[in-house]
Structure 1
Amino acid sequence: MLGSKQRYMGYPLIVLLAILGFRVSAETNFGSPNTVENTIKENKRSKQSWRELLEKDHQFTFGLDYQVLGLSASSPTQGGEDKAAGGVVRLYGAWDLIGLESVNRGGLVWKIEHRHGYTDSSPKEFSFIDPGLGYIGMIGSAYSDQGGRLTNLYWKQKFNEGNTAIIAGYLDTSDYVDTYALASPWTGFTNLAFSTGAGAIGLPDDGVLGVAVGHMLNESLYIIAGVADAKGRSDKPSDGFNTLFNDHKFFSSFELGWTASQDQIYTDNVHMTVWHIDGETQHNLTQTEDAHGINFSASFFATPRFMPFIRAGFSEGDVALYDKSLTIGLGYFGLLSENNNLGFAINFSEVNDNLAKAYGAADKKQFTSELYYNMTIGEFIQLTPNIQYIDNPAISTEENTWVLGLRARFFL
């Protein structure tokens, strides 16, 4: 569908060559809303002077939050659980160490987490991994019972007056692959169909050794590419050197995009992303087959607060949840209060053929919708009620189900 494996692996080289070329005047933020730096910026909306002074005097900043997600389904599959809940504690930070007098700064970024379930099935397993909804998808994919994990520990370096950025180390590929403003599972949609990849990208674990490069070609066009360890595990980071250098199984991606605003590249944005993941990893259903695909995303502010978007993905292989996925939706920023946001989206998906055969799905087509409202209460609390309707869950005994959810975030 997208060409040979060698074609994918050549993209990072294209980006490295491009670094030697074009320069533009504005510093660019290539990270998604879920990166450490952007999360800390959101935390600073309350103007906590101690954090600002720490960053000003020592170029060091950090954040701490605890998140809880609870889900309840009206019609689980026969014999399945109708409730799931889990929590995540995260400590994250950034420390600029070189180039402090310019925009070409370099420094360390880190994030450590502990993910735990409160119920027999955590939210991540609730859809179909454990008996639950019978829905081929994931709701609250970050809320597992994995335990302690290393998500980020990388060096970030900017060049070319901030127009080129390189990160290398333990990284989360969803921080730079197919991002948009509402992709974060911590503050945006809870269903993976409305997040990174629209369910049609076979991502590795979100804490693996890798390198990624972003570069502005001119005032609006950019490219982002990366290569990461496809067999790495965030709960066993010390094993990453063995899997990366001995197994040679990679996840690679390349994105070409256009943005109207270099300050926040993931809002007014149109991009195309191609990806490839080697076979014989823990993510492959058959353990042998390579997988690849292509994704499209477009979002823009029709008004200063109203952002419609459309996202689509097509994949081949046995890693992604969906062979085909189409999402349309909207975000409304500043609804009722400056820091409150609303999101609504619908998704049409066709379940991965390998998954459908493995789970005995008679009909591969699913319809999903989600409505959420993220509201900030005081300086340190966010609450996000959400409601989802799932029609024709692929392996359920029921024709449809409603899922009510409540997410709480407590942050410093």
Structure 2
Amino acid sequence: MNGRFSSTLAAFLGGWCLLTGAVQAEGLSGPSSTAAALAPGDGLTDPQFRSDFPLSALPGFYAWKDGLAEGGFSFGADYLALGQWGNSDIGSGDAGGGIARLFGTYDAGGGHSYTFKLENRHAYGAVAPQFFGLDSGALSITGTAFNDSGTLLTNLFYTYRDPEGRFTLQAGQIDVTDFLDIYSLVSPYTAFQNLAFNTNPTINAPNPGLGLAAGVQLSPNVYAVASIADANGDPSSPDTGVFSSGETFKSLEIGYTSGPGRIYFDNIHLTFWQSDASDDLGRPKDKGVSFSASWLFGNAWAPFLRYGQSDGTAALYERSLSTGIGWYRRNTDLAGLGLNWAEGNGIDGRQFTAEAFYRFSISPNFQITPSVQFIENPLLDPTQSSITLFGLRARMLF
């Protein structure tokens, strides 16, 4: 094993072992994780929906799934589609793409479980939504996760959750954005689409790859989450290259929450991170810190304030400030409004981004989300004063 990776891993494990004497640890499952995908409704499900489609169309299938879940194996599949259209003077003018996912968990008992997620991400035309902002002249990821990467193994990990709730440990093929700098509106599958309002765009988070993560509840209201993962992760071709390269991404988050079950609804935290350079990929090293505060009032209103800064060598932005609010309706409809100011990586000037969306929850398993994004002073094309993008996302869960 590479000496640098060995020493880093040893230090991480040593620090983790010092923390595990705490109580009431929460798992490592944010709004975009497999666990969240298996529990539709944002954890706030109200039975009053417009319909029960597709449950009503496939009662035998869902009964079979329920039977498997009683034996410890829970799984689901979904398909997401996103179309975007813009008024930029340059670029293609539109983008479209889809994501097909198969995911699940097996609860082996005694706190031991196993999680998997396979995805196929594809574009419908020449430009995938993830790159539509760049294609239109903005330094902006306007369709987070909707790229054309093909078939990906994004999750294949083992979890141990202490039966007394004191800590959780994950190891295997992990996606650090499942738990890194999260809040209730972080998921590009169910909430905001622009990276400015997803995982902080000043964090050079790696693609899914081999890693280790731990979450610990230090008190009923204070928690810590730490991770070390392959900085060169490639979910389209998973490997163990991190053991030879030693190039890793590290993070440490300390946060305050109203209680373990509300860890991403009521959350104030500080996140520190560092990513090694890669000579093979031409990526410089980078590090930074981010702050996030979000609180859900009355299970309806979710204001947020998020800030991040980095060395500005590899992350999308050197500095970023976001604020906004989410509004959960009775049947888990969700409206969101976000505002972002950012300084680009190595680019003079500041870019302003606004996004508004309304997610119609037709049923617990079927959602449609129209959205609009406005980008002022697009940093990649200073000849344009602003760009407006319209989007329409659909998600069907089986």
TM-score normalised by structure 2 residue count: 0.90
1:23 counterpart = 2:23: yes
Q: What is the aligned partner in structure 2 of residue 409 from structure 1?
A: 395
Once residues 311 and 11 of structure 2 are traced to their aligned partners in structure 1, the CA distance between those partners, rounded to angstroms, is 20
Deviation, 1:235, is 0.3
- Tell me by how many angstroms 1:304 deviates: 2.9
Across the two proteins, how many residue pairs are aligned to each other? Answer: 376
Asked whether the equivalents of residues 226 and 253 of structure 1 are also in contact (C-alpha less than 8 Å), the reply is: yes
State whether residues 12 and 225 of structure 1, in contact with CA within 8 Å, keep that contact through their aligned partners in structure 2. Answer: no
Q: Percent identity?
A: 33
Following the alignment from structure 2 to structure 1, what is the Cα–Cα distance between the partners of residues 285 and 259? 36
Alignment-mate amino acid for residue 295 of structure 1? S
Aligned to 1:212: 213
Q: Which residue of 2 aligns with 1:52?
A: 66
* Structure 1 counterpart of 2:365, one-letter code: F
Match of 1:165 in 2: 168
Report what 1:123 is aligned to.
129
**Which position in structure 1 is the counterpart of 2:340?**
347
Structure 2 residue aligned with 1:72: 85
1:332-372 C-alpha deviation (Å, 9 max, x unpaired): 111xx41211111100000011xx2xxxxxx4200000001
TM-superposed deviation, 1:14: 2.0
Change (3 A) 1:147 1:368: same
Query: Which position in structure 1 is the counterpart of 2:117?
Result: 111
CA contact (8 A) 1:12 1:254 kept: no
Please point out which of 69, 73, 76 is paired with 1:63.
Answer: 76
Distance in 2 separating the partners of 1:403 and 1:73: 4
* 2:84 and 2:95 in contact (8 A); partners too: yes
Once superposed, what is the RMSD of the aligned Cα atoms? 2.1
Question: Which whole-Å CA distance do the structure 1 matches of 2:332 and 2:36 have between them?
Answer: 15
Task: Name which of structure 1's ranges 273-282 and 257-266 shifts more when overlaid on structure 2.
Answer: 273-282
CA contact (8 A) 2:294 2:302 kept: yes
CA shift, 1:236, in A, is 0.5
Residues 7 and 310 of structure 1: is their aligned pair in 2 closer, same or farther, counting only changes over 3 Å? farther
* Residue 185 of structure 1, aligned match among 185, 188, 205: 188
**Aligned counterpart in structure 2 of residue 264 of structure 1, from 262, 265, 282:** 262
Aligned to 2:261, what secondary structure does the other structure show? coil
Matched, 1:91 2:123: no
Q: Residue 271 of structure 2 aligns with which residue? A: 273
Structure 1 gap ranges (5+): 100-104, 357-362
Aligned equivalents of 1:288, 1:118: Cα separation in 2: 30
SS at structure 2 position matched to 1:42: coil
Cα deviation, 1:101-140, whole Å, max 9, x if unaligned, reads xxxx111100000111011011112222xxx211112011
SS state of the match for residue 187, structure 1? coil
Correspondent of 2:149 among 146, 149, 169: 146
Out of 347, 368, 378, the residue aligned to residue 363 of structure 2 is 378
Is contact 1:113-1:150 (8 Å) kept? yes
CA distance in structure 2 between the aligned counterparts of 1:202 and 1:156, rounded to whole angstroms: 25
1:12, CA displacement in angstroms? Answer: 5.4
The aligned runs of 1:355-394 (5 Å cut-off) are 356=347, 363-394=348-379
Distance 1:346 1:31 in 2: 26
| CA deviation after TM superposition for structure 1 residue 90, in Å | 0.2
Q: Please list the CA deviations of residues 280-328 of structure 1 after superposition, one character each: whole Å capped at 9, or x if unmatched.
A: 167x7xx253100000000112333111010000000421111100000
Partner of 2:18, secondary structure, is: helix
In the alignment, which residue of structure 1 is the partner of 2:231?
Answer: 230
Select the residue among 22, 38, 41 that pairs with 1:40: 38
- The amino acid of 1:52's aligned partner reads D
Alignment-derived partner of residue 359 in structure 1: none
* Aligned-residue offset at 1:395: 1.3
Structure 1 residue identity aligned to 2:128: S
Tell me, in whole angstroms, the C-alpha distance in 2 between the residues paired with 1:379 and 1:294.
36
Cα pair distance change 1:263/1:277, threshold 3 Å: same
CA spacing shift, 1:210–1:85, aligned 2, 3 Å = same
2:313 paired with 1:318: yes
CA shift for structure 1 position 53: 3.3
Structure 2 counterpart of 1:400: 386
Q: How does 1:266-345 map to 2 (within 5 A)?
A: 266-280=264-278, 287=282, 289-334=284-329, 337-345=330-338
**1:166-207 deviation digits (Å, cap 9, x = unpaired):** 11000101011101111111001000000011x1100111x2
Larger deviation, residues 217-226 vs 310-319 = 310-319
